[in-house]
Chain A
């Protein structure tokens, strides 16, 4: 319990660091964000409009920077993230519309990649020296090194352009009406296959390699030899004695991999025009829509921190050693 509280405290501090970054970054950079927004409006802008834009960005030249900072923290804590002028609605509503798509896509593919990758890694280590083991690790070293967006482009080329099986982009068909009907859900699924496959192909390698390497070390332990000597079945020794102990570093790695997955999701959403958080983030960058940019960065950070906290708690439950250490 003390471990969890300490971790939660660390995450609150991290969140505060992110908020401060969000606040000070635009103010440290050359040029005012308001100027750039005004440049997008093409034309004469009255003093009153400039003032309104500055106010909507939270820039208030009459107050000191610290007053503004405290006000910003207060607004964020109460869920007021400002107004996105490129989307024409409050930032919180843009986020509410985009987040489920990204969470669904990233959540499902991450869990799939973790399960599949761990299983492949465990089998490769168990059959060490077999053909399976000589092909798999180099193959996955290769997949970890190829860029996400390129995998996405190649998949579009094969499955949409060449074979014509799957749509090349978007989250739903243009005529689809949101409902819980099978046809709508099928439409959602069909649009998610290629983005998910892209994330899976590039994301699975890390799990395979880490698991194989841990498992190779674990299998030399005495308790594994003991299990064999007891005459337990191969499957039992592999899963209950080998994999179960080798999986712990992979669980910790879960936290590390999230940043990787998030970056992949942004690029994949861009390639597939999949309207999730990453898609809107890049859109916001294109329009210099700072409130939306900051809000999306904040929500991505919160999501990642929450996931890491969960994986920390899971590790603490599964591995008593972590509760006392660090």
Chain B
């Protein structure tokens, strides 16, 4: 449910020269620029490193823990110890194992919802802009309605009808309610392209609408799509964990939100079991930060005006402003 951060034109129009270079070469140089950007932009570096850690944990949880995250034991709500690094929960299961094993579920949720939402938004947004007429009115109306309806209460109500909803239901529900903002962005981007020469050329060639949308329009929106994917993945992490935290969703699903739900149910802060909720919550925050930082770094890469100035540049700018101030003083004196 993160507030999408608008930064003016996210994806600029195509640079004219770029269309002429060979596709393969273009991809290589983009990749090189991309990797340099990750190394030089501190936010991107932090985001990518955090993301790599989470991906590693979700792929190989077995390397980090051998305990079961759901096994009952007589050792309930135990304090952290050598056997249970973060203690145990109300049924005696190891909380550290829940955090490690829960990573996979959260990552699947984030990536699946990020991709599905962006895909739905892409189809609806681009179709609305390209098809025009009645289609445009209907699709735009649906998009705008979904945009202003408060989504989280709606999610709660839908989830209430699915007691014991697993990850799959959560993914579908989040995806089919969360696409509206992206769809509107993509629609206006596609509208600005509608009368460009290369689309008219494709029409004259006699290509079908579907082909034009998939092959001619969508590739020009890659950076916007990537930003949407990251934004929607962040939304999925926060909204999904929120729903699990309030107890909607399967209560034995191994996930950070579920662990937090049980910590809250057992008032972990009054019994001194702080790590029970601090660690899973921090994991949600760090994964969210990874998505947000990578996204923000992309924005800075795409829009140099947003970049933080380097120290040398800042000094130069300060000197310039002093000079301006002196000049204005001079002007005033006159």
Contact = CB atoms under 8 A, between A and B. Distances in A.
Interface of A: 10-11, 13-14, 17-18, 21, 25-26, 29-30, 128-130, 133-134, 137-138, 141-142, 144-150, 153-154, 156-157, 160-161, 168, 203, 205-206, 209-210, 213-214, 216-217, 220, 228-231, 249, 253, 255-260, 262-264, 266-267, 270-271, 278, 281-282, 285-286, 288, 293-294, 296-297, 300-301, 304-305, 308
Interface in B266-306: 269-270, 274, 277-278, 281-282, 284-285, 288-289, 291-293, 296, 305-306
Given A217-B305, A263-B150, A263-B239, A145 B234 contact: yes
A304 B150 contact: yes
A25 B153 contact: no
Given A146-B285, A296-B153, A217 B8 contact: yes
13 contacts: A129-B314, A144-B292, A147-B241, A147-B288, A150-B277, A153-B260, A157-B278, A205-B3, A229-B328, A231-B328, A263-B1, A282-B156, A293-B157
Contacts of A263: 1, 150-153, 239, 242
A17 B145 contact: yes
Contacts of A253: 3, 6
A154 B141 CA distance: 41
B148 A308 contact: yes
User: For chain B, which range describes its interface: under 10, 10 to 19, 20 to 34, or 35 or more residues?
Assistant: 35 or more
Interface in B62-107: none
B145 A255 contact: no
Given A145-B234, A293-B157, A297-B154, A216 B4 contact: no
Given A141-B289, A147-B238, A260-B2, A129 B317 contact: yes
A282 B308 contact: no
B50 to A, nearest CB: 11
B25 to A, nearest CB: 32
A263 B2 CA distance: 10
B317 A128 contact: yes
Contacts of B291: 145
A270 B296 contact: no
A297 B156 CA distance: 10
B81 to A, nearest CB: 21
Interface string B298-334: 0000000110111101100110000010001101100
B234 A271 contact: no
Given A144-B3, A256-B4, 5 more contacts: A142-B292, A147-B241, A153-B263, A217-B8, A262-B150
Nearest to B308: A134
B150 A259 contact: yes
A256 B6 CA distance: 11
B179 interface: no
A216 B305 CA distance: 7
Nearest to A149: B245
A281 B3 contact: no
A129 B314 CA distance: 5
Name, among B149, B239, B264, B318, the residue most crowded by chain A CB atoms within 10 Å (CB to CB): B149
B31 interface: no
A146 B239 CA distance: 11
Nearest to B160: A285
A20 to B, nearest CB: 11
B130 interface: no
Contact of B269 (A130, A157, A209, A300): A157
A260 B154 contact: no
B227 interface: no
B284 A147 contact: yes
A10 B289 contact: no
Nearest to B305: A216
A281 B308 contact: no
A213 B152 contact: no
Contacts of B150: 258-259, 262-263, 300-301, 304
B28 interface: no
B131 interface: no
A210 B6 contact: yes
B148 A255 contact: yes
